[in-house]
Structure 1
């Protein structure tokens, strides 16, 4: 009997724990997967940590764009830390049991931070929109107080909705199986385990996905349509090239994150398969945080210069 096996009585669930199957279907790759995920986690912590440090210590990077980038890097560290450490522990110990409370806590933080990422990407797009389309008023509009308010709004706006959604999912009776065929506690695999009518939960998932993902994506898309039209009117080819380089970095992250999230949460329950869900989840839980430091750093001369100055100070 697997840890956390449960029996259902009447109309309610007696589940005290779940079993995260994760990558147990790949028994010969457990050592490789542990090493791979461990290196990825270290890379994410180091890369995003360096962005936070250089945006704090380098005076050239004391601008709204880099303020939001530092927030984004902080978010990525928190976001990946909700799932990756648990994956590493499960692979290392082969103990896949997770308590009901731990599962609910993981899901809640994951959903809240996911909403924060969506809103923060919108804020970053708005910052670029003001910078390109209204440059003369940029310092006035994106003042320090406005930046703090926008960042705080991005971090906090999703909390009430996602806490409520977590409570709604965990109010469902789980009377079939307690084995979650996923590597963390996410909504689609948990709804699959619920017995009874889950149509209300599915409607809520769609509504929240549309609110946080689709609307956010459309706002970002609208911003960049106006930004690109402004860039195309620039007289200098060098100026156009530099502007496109800055914007394309943001758009790559946007497409990676929103593409995988939309497919995961807006597909009908009947179309969900464990393998596809895992693959898509890897994109928005691991791949995007991993590529963030590379996309924003390697394509940005100011960040590279600041990083070289920081490393030079450390070696002197």
Structure 2
């Protein structure tokens, strides 16, 4: 498995990644135990590309919605299996995170049903997983995600089971929303106006609507992340949507800049530097160099902080963020 910054490239992941966003799914008749509808909203995301702390919080969030206490031994049974997936769920150490990928080979990739249109960390009716529990390994003899069967955990049913839904991702009946970038941008601008007025909840609703109009438009994902920065709230949602913005558009540097502050806030300057290094490779701007220089400075690497400050100063020596870094470097030298 190849890792670039926080983004893990796994064979077959592009099949899911190109579906990221809000769509419709037909699950009617896929499982006799559940009365599933033929038109349900689905929000597809890329769990393996989320930061590790965020994956843990996604696990806790899903536990809470399903009525399970995180770490409880009285957990989920899987159809066709004769044992609980994890015998010891009481520790968060060594990646023992619920029934998720890190421990047991079940990879969440979508929320479905009412509320799913708001993506991760919203209320929803169910979670879809790729089932890699049969000792599946990403080795050369496997084709990737397309090999994995799909299972569903239905939150609102009194039925604590993961039930089979499809043989693989391609077998799912996903109806992609049509993309209308002009409409998406128009709705986003309406959200921006509400954002400027301080009506952040109404702005968020507009940004969700803008994603529905064009799930490939990185701007509304990014703007949902910006709400978390403006309000100092909704941190999990903000971190998720910043990452989604540059997953739907790998060259979207606004989202990279927005996201880089999250690992830095946890003291993970190495992670923040990886993201901003990638950002600088895409866009050599004074702002990007200033942020990268700041992360090196905060990590104690003065040599690289000076190096990238100078790179940025060659582009725009008077950029406000660079001037802040310059002042910090002078104070450090003094």
> TM-score category by the smaller chain?
under 0.3
Compare relative contact order (CA 8 Å, sep 6+) and give the higher one, 1 or 2: 1
Indicate the structure with greater helix content: 1
TM-score (norm 2): 0.24
